[in-house]
A and B are shown apart, each in its own frame.
Chain A
Amino acid sequence: MQASDRFNINSQLEHLQAKYVGTGHADMNRFEWAVNIQRDSYAAYIGHYPLLSYFSIAENESIGRQRYTFMQKMLLPCGLPPEREED
């Protein structure tokens, strides 16, 4: 990599995208954005135990079950992705 490349905005962005999940890009669509937010939210629910217990009281499930449900929901948090537009 050349010295000038390191400061190139694109390579910096790529670095960020590789390092931090969810870093956006210019062509990001609504779905990708929402999926990312939802995954972040579920991870936060799992990580904050009081919040997790709050949900499990509301749904009358055990905390372990609620944690598992949230983990499972991270797979497809917003339903199926939209069909790609052919370009």
Chain B
Amino acid sequence: MYLYNLTLQRPTGIICAINGNFSGGKGQEIVVARGKALDLLRPDDNGRIQTILSVEVFGAIRSLAQFRLTGAQKDFIVVGSDSGRIVILDYNKEKNVFDKVHQETFGKSGARRIVPGQYIAVDPKGRAVMIGACEKQKLVYVLNRDTAARLTISSPLEAHKSHTLVFSICGVDCGFENPIFAAIELDYSEADQDSTGMAASEAQKNLTFYELDLGLNHVSRKWSDQVDNGANLLVTVPGGADGPSGVLVCAENFVIYKNQGHPDVRAVIPRRADLPAERGVLIVSAAMHKLKNMFFFLLQTEYGDIFKVTLEHEGDRISELKIKYFDTIPVTSSMCVLKSGFLFAASEFGNHALYQFKAIGDDDDVEASSARLMETEEGFQPVFFQPRKLKNLVRIDQVESLMPLMDMKVSNLFEEETPQIFTLCGRGPRSSLRILRTGLAVSEMAVSKLPGVPSAVWTVKKNVIDEFDAYIVVSFTNATLVLSIGETVEEVSDSGFLDTTPSLSVSLIGDDSLMQVHPNGIRHIREDGRINEWRTPGKRTIAKVGSNRLQVVIALSGGELIYFEVDVTGQLMEVEKHEMSGDVACLDIAPVPEGRQRSRFLAVGSYDKTIRILSLDPDDCMQTLSIQSLSSAPESLLFLEVQASVGGEDGADHPASLFLNAGLQNGVLSRTVVDMVTGLLSDTRSRFLGLRAPKLFPIIVRGKRAMLCLSSRPWLGYIYQGHFLLTPLSYETLEFAASFSSDQCVEGVVAVAGEALRIFTIERLGETFNETVIPLRYTPRKFVLQPKRKLLVVIESDQGALTAEEREAARKECFEAAQAGENGTGSADQMENGGEDEDKDDALSDEHYGYPKAESDKWASCIRVLDPRTANTTCLLELQDNEAAFSICTVNFHDKEYGTLLAVGTAKGLQYTPKRSLTAGFIHIYRFLEDGRSLELLHKTQVEGVPLALCQFQGRLLAGIGPVLRLYDLGKRRLLRKCENKQFPKTIVSIQTYRDRIYVGDIQESFHYCKYRRDENQLYIFADDCVPRWLTASYHIDFDTMAGADKFGNIYFVRLPQDVSDEIEEDPTGGRIKWEQGKLNGAPNKVEEIVQFHVGDLISSLQKASLIPGGGECILYGTIMGSIGALHAFTSRDDVDFFSHLEMHMRQDNPPLCGRDHMAYRSAYFPVKDVIDGDLCEQFPTLPMDLQRKIADELDRTPGEILKKLEEVRNKII
């Protein structure tokens, strides 16, 4: 079995983000690392974040930093990854790619303890960069310019210190003196030796300054001083002319200013009033903003509160450090303050957001200051505050993120054309169920009802140079309606159009006149209002029309073609007539090429299942240039010109080409390349779009011509980053459409469907899925689908959280306290916070502020029955007594008294630290009431561990409780044990069954294949895996095969060898399995690994599904970072050969951006086996043209054929 791996949705979580001027312009850009992808984002004029570039790097990015050489206009990007190399990237605006400027190897690949890559710090003046590891190694590279002003990088200088852990590094701003880097270090060498524990308890963190002597080209430890033992993060303080220099050390509960030769200035971080006393406050992300004559820091705590830190200083003496409460936003992994007044918050879980600054926190608020620091016997006196609504920030955009994707199931619950992907995402109060549908999201601008059922719609400008459309013309079966576009859209009668007849086509012709084609003739409306009518000869009517701005061809009933051209005076002149052999099914003229008088090609589709290309040149007018025969009669034709590109923001470079698109009556869209000189047709690609014959319409998307195909659902064909993408739109079935451009809506589409006229725009291009979000209460764990009742049952649980009632009580208490004016510090704004309590009562606010923290052994959990169609929760059971749900399944017991029941595995008082312990585990059995909309507890059965896996098996319930697999039957008061097997290695996390086989997944020992012998009532393990695998997801493929994913980001398939499988099935007594013993406590048989692939992200769920109607099934995987990928099985050996060769060439000629070897990455833990990386192959169109040709030559193909292959295989998946 050979598989093709394709990422359908790139990771949506963000590891770190930096901002700067990467393209060298005025605008601010953001570079974000999404684990294995590197993206360049830019907020557009409307404050919406646009993805400009997204590159898969085939490595794990761990840190990013930007620097600028003195006097330069643009920033470079330094990337620390797991490649054992430092990589410096430069964003190339012209080609829209990241250029690798430097790549220096310093160590082994992989995220290792002493190989740098975890931390990156740059000198604020861009003269040096330090790259560090968690322990020991730190390397400094000197950055400079050569005579041609190119960036140079030195060989590395070592700043190592063995037996030393590094918590954070940063550059110290000391103007143009020698660059200094600061590091928080902790020496463990003594703690390792001292058995009394004295050394460990006295272990002291130090802040160390490393000075790079540019003259001597040498790094030395300049200064080292003790620092608070809770220190975790360093932030550079501006120096030189801008500020006092030095660093801010963020420690648990404190922020400390430190510099050489300066006493420490310390202030406490204010605490939330409801925070348990034993919890500290840790800063997790920081941003510095520097204005002309002041600077401030924004520090965010692990609870999401942002504090503004300011330093009062005279020269380089700090007199006071102030920490003022700023606002609360969801916890971020990085914050970027843009010069344009925006704050980009890359959330660690859930959607990212762009905020605009309304104020910079100059108003009064809770403030802690170094001057008011009070030391008491119990330590420093804390300062309390209450989070409040946003005061300084206002959210203007958000970027969807599926991270963390906890569970995923694919089902066509809504009975649409393609199945929906149901995903559980998010954590705590920001949890959600997201329903993903393939296709682009559209936003509807307007829907208006029309007086009848329209058959067609067009938009026209009054003049070529106009920016916006002037009229919307709607045709009915016996009339035409003209609407003028202005502030509002209203009906007009002075447009000159004939309104008593239906229209066949309405368009701008010449420079400034309008043309209406109706069944009986052509009406030509000149700019000055003169009207010329051309009438059809005899009683014949016009059947079809094709036109561009200067040419018109009409087809009369019976099959006669008449060709008109616009002459120099703007008159429409008849040029030529041509008799076709039969009725014409459809017509199209290619658009007039730039700088030409006319287009040469006319395409005519006939009912004899052919398309002919006719010439429109005067010397061979109406000559047939080429013929194409089709599988079905064409319904609609469209020439789509792809303009030549040399890269830029539409992606790769490619020569200009012309495609003839044909929508066929059998629902297939065929795309054929038209030779731009001879008109010959070649290289046809076809794709099934839907049950109705696709109608094709040209529209404009991001300033480029694109194609809208209306079949049983609408599709958009457009070019995105070098790929031609044909993507469905998530919208209803449309009859007829036209592009629409007005003041309010620059690039929209107007369409008719039923009796309505609809105007919509297409949202973020390039996305594969669009999502519907249903909020949940706690971190979702698992869910089950009930396809018949169209309901979902979700279990949610959160550790260290208060239950809903407790939260309600706490809130009330807080409210009352505020009323009495006795709250915490008791200042005026506290009262204000109390006053805003009404706003806090809505459920959304938790989403913003997070739940109040409780002790770590407290759990909050619920079971929810959800109707995904209406987004209504029909039943919500909050679990009591510190119980948390971990597993769920539906089960039909033998005894049919209750029908389908729901089993939920829970744990009471579960604790992970210091040692995993729990009070008890339970299996709850619920009965469905009200047609599945409600649940009733039947009984609960206590078990000795956490039931992490439940599954129905032959009318009974299988439960995995720790290392025990147990079979239960339903009793009146509790579940009844029927049989068990205790021989599993560690903890059972998944159970799947097929016939009498049971496939058990162990948390660290991969799969075990079991068999249940009913006559003996015993469970045997007959085969297991020989590789330890920390399972995170599993899926049953077939009788002998399982797919699994492990904690390290590998996906693998195991299969029981055929002969072993047969032997086991043929063993009638089962005696052999029973008595056969494996070696070293293993099972007697071993499964074989048949597929192995490193995805590079922790896979949380596996599913088998077909995402396209009539397509084959593939394995879908969802990852913690919020990406979705697919593994598609090749059906022919030829394809395998082709793609493995393409992959090989791509590996050679297109090494990954961040320096990791592709083959090594995909084999990071186990050698890759039988999986071809489609993500690498799909980078083919982004290569330079000559490289594309070179690879194509070696594969004995043309670049076009390779693109076609790539498109084909993608179309089989999605």
Contacts and interface: CB of A to CB of B under 8 A. Distances in A.
Nearest to A63: B348
Contacts of A81: 192-195
Contacts of B285: 64
B1083 interface: no
Nearest to B348: A63
A71 B302 contact: no
Nearest to B162: A21
Contact of A53 (B13, B112, B165, B303): B13
A33 interface: no
A49 B232 contact: no
Determine chain B's interface SS by DSSP, over half rule.
loop
Contact of A74 (B15, B118, B135, B331): B135
A64 B35 CA distance: 16
B194 A43 contact: no
A61 interface: yes
B331 A62 contact: yes
A80 B200 contact: yes
A36 B186 CA distance: 16
Contact of B82 (A47, A57, A71, A76): A47
Contacts of B82: 47
A51 B1047 contact: yes
Interface stretch (B268-276, B589-597, B798-806): B798-806
A35 B163 CA distance: 12
Interface string A35-48: 10001101110111
Interface in A56-87: 56-65, 68, 71, 74-76, 80-84
Contacts of B1048: 48, 51
Nearest to B113: A43
A23 B243 CA distance: 46
B189 to A, nearest CB: 11
A35 B113 contact: no
Interface in B313-333: 331, 333
A83 B136 CA distance: 26
B191 A48 contact: no
Contacts of B114: 20-21
A22 B192 CA distance: 13
B383 interface: no
Contact of A62 (B162, B284, B1119): B284
B35 A50 contact: yes
Determine chain A's interface SS by DSSP, over half rule.
helix
A67 B162 CA distance: 21
B194 A50 contact: no
B62 to A, nearest CB: 6
Nearest to A79: B197
Interface residues of A, number: 38
A62 B348 contact: yes
A20 B135 CA distance: 11
A46 B118 contact: yes
B191 A50 contact: no
Question: Which of A22, A43, A53 is the most central at the interface, judged by chain B CB atoms within 10 Å of its CB?
Answer: A53
Question: Which of A56, A64, A84 is the most central at the interface, judged by chain B CB atoms within 10 Å of its CB?
Answer: A64
A32 B758 CA distance: 71
B284 A63 contact: yes
B209 to A, nearest CB: 20
B245 to A, nearest CB: 26
B284 A83 contact: no
Nearest to B800: A60
Nearest to B133: A43
A53 B403 contact: yes
Contacts of B193: 81
A58 B284 CA distance: 18
A81 B200 CA distance: 10
Interface string B192-217: 11111100100100000000000000
B191 A74 contact: no
Nearest to A65: B302
A59 B427 CA distance: 11
A21 B135 contact: yes
Interface in B838-877: 856
B674 interface: no
Contacts of B799: 58-60
Contacts of B348: 53, 56, 62-64
Given A47-B112, A53-B403, A59 B284 contact: no
Contacts of B333: 63-64
B284 A64 contact: yes
B60 A75 contact: no
B165 A71 contact: yes
Contacts of A53: 13, 348-349, 403-404, 1098, 1120-1121
B445 to A, nearest CB: 38
Contacts of A61: 302, 800
Contacts of A39: 113, 135
A59 B798 CA distance: 9
A85 to B, nearest CB: 11
Question: Which of B60, B192, B1121 is the most central at the interface, judged by chain A CB atoms within 10 Å of its CB?
Answer: B192
Contact of A65 (B15, B62, B282, B1121): B282
A71 B232 contact: yes
Nearest to A46: B134
Contacts of A20: 114
Contacts of A76: 188, 191, 200
A77 B739 CA distance: 64
A22 B1198 CA distance: 52
B112 A75 contact: no
B779 interface: yes
Contacts of A64: 232, 282-285, 302, 331, 333, 348
Question: Which of B117, B303, B427 is the most central at the interface, judged by chain A CB atoms within 10 Å of its CB?
Answer: B427
A75 B186 contact: yes
B1044 to A, nearest CB: 16
Contacts of A48: 60, 111, 1048-1049
18 contacts: A20-B114, A21-B114, A44-B111, A46-B111, A47-B117, A50-B1097, A53-B1121, A54-B1098, A59-B799, A59-B912, A60-B427, A62-B302, A62-B303, A64-B302, A65-B284, A71-B134, A75-B186, A81-B195
Task: Give the 3 A-B CB pairs with smallest separation, nearest first.
Answer: A64-B284, A47-B111, A43-B113
Interface of B: 13, 15, 35, 60, 62, 82, 111-114, 117-118, 133-136, 162, 165, 167, 186, 188, 191-197, 200, 203, 232, 282-285, 302-303, 331, 333, 348-349, 403-404, 406, 427-428, 779, 798-801, 856, 912, 1032, 1047-1049, 1097-1098, 1119-1121
Given A53-B1120, A65-B284, A81-B193, 13 more contacts: A44-B111, A47-B62, A51-B1048, A53-B349, A57-B779, A60-B801, A62-B303, A64-B232, A71-B134, A71-B167, A80-B200, A81-B194, A83-B195
